[in-house]
Amino acid sequence: MSSKKIITFLLFLALSPYLQAEFSGKIVTPAPPRVAASSYILQDFDSGRILAEKNADKVLPPASLTKVMTAYVAFTELKAGRLSLDEKVRVSEKAWRTQGSKMFIEVNKRITIENLLQGIIIQSGNDASVAVAEHIAGNEQAFAEMMNEEARRLGMNSTHFMNATGLPVPNQHYTTARDLAKLTRAVIRDFPEYYKWDAVKEFTFNNITQKNRNTLLWRDESVDGVKTGHTEEAGYCLIASAKRQKMRLVSVVLGTKSKSARANESQTLLNYGFRFFETHKLYDANTVLASPRVWKGATEIAELGLAEDLFVTISRRHYDEMKASIDLDYKIMAPVLKGDRLGSVNVTLRNKIVSSKPLIALTSVAAGSFFQRAYDSALMLITSNNGK
C-alpha cells in the first residue's frame, strides 16, 4: 500500500466516529479533560446541566469549603432581618483559640458582622467562623445544626456538618462535589449582594493584610469566586466560578495534591466548559406562553407559563437546530389553581430532549356558574360525538 493510501486510511479511521455520529444525527463534543483530583464536577449555573464529573457523589471531607455554608447561613439570617452587617460580635476565647487559618481577631474585642464575614470569605478565618457561629446560634454545635438544616433544604443529601470551619471530624463532617455545586449555585442565586466579596483579592484587618487564597482571581479575569480549602485529610480543594459573556460555570475540585494543582485543574475544567458549550435563555418566568381553553370555568382561558426562567446548555454552534414545543393537557377543567401543572415545554436538539419544564397556571380560574358548567358539558358532549 502506498504512503498516500496509508495516510488516507489512517485519516478515515480517525474521523470515522465523527462521520458515524454525523450520519446518525448525534452531536460530537470532545470528552472532558483528565483531572487529577479525587472528585470533581463542572456545572452550568443557569441550566444546571452537568458538563463533566468524576466521583461527584463520593463522600469526602470538605476542609474550608465548609465556610461557604457558614456564610450562607449568615446571609440567610441577614435576609430575614435577624442579623445586620453593622451588628457587633464579642469574640470569645474559644473563637480566638481556634486552630488553622485566622483573621486574627482578639478576645473580648467587638467586631462587626460585615468584617467577620469578609474575614471568613476572603481570609478563610477559622476564628471568624466560630465567632459568627456563636453569635448566631449561641454555640458552634447549634450553628452546625442550622447548617445541616439548610443543607437538607437545598437537597444536599450527602452532606453533614459538625462545625463552622471545616476542621476534620472523621466520618462525621463530610460532603460531595455535587452537593457543594448545589450550595454554590444557591449562594450566587440567592445572595448576589454578598457573593461579590468572593472576588475580593485581599482584606486588611487588625493591620494585617491577607490575600485571597483563590489564585484564579489573579490568573483569569472571568473568575469571581469562590473558596479554597485544605487539610491533610481533604487534600487541596477549590470551588471556582467564572462568567464569560452571559454564561456562568461552577466547578468543584476535591482532593488534589497541591495549591497549584487545584488551581490548574479548576482552570482546565472551566476552559473546557466555555470552549465547547454555550448557554441560552429561551423563556422568562411568569410570561404567558399558552392560553388554552378552560372548560366549566368562570372564564374560558387559562394563562400558562413557567415558574422559572428556562435556560439550556448545548454544544456550541447548534443553537439554530433547537426546537421548542408545548404539550398541553387534553382538556383543562375548572377550577384551576395558580401553580397547577397543565402541560410542559420541551426543547429538543436533533430529536433529543435537552430540557423539559412544567407549564403551570399563572393565574387561577374559578368554577363557572351552574349555567356555564351545563353549557360546557353539552358542548363537550357534542364535540366528543362529532369526533367519533
- Residues with catalytic roles: 64, 67, 124
Residue 342 CA: distances (Å) to CA of 295, 302, 381: 13, 10, 22
DSSP string for residues in 269-294: HHHHHHHHEEEEEEE-TT---B--BE
Q: Alpha helices of 243-355 — where are they, by DSSP H?
A: 259-276
Residue for grid cell 453569635:
135
C-alpha cell of 296?
366549566
C-alpha pair distances (Å), 309 with each of 181, 238, 325, 362: 19, 29, 16, 14
The answer to whether residues 290 and 243 touch, using CB atoms and an 8 Å cutoff, is no
User: Nearest Cα to 70, choosing from 177, 187, 174?
Assistant: 187
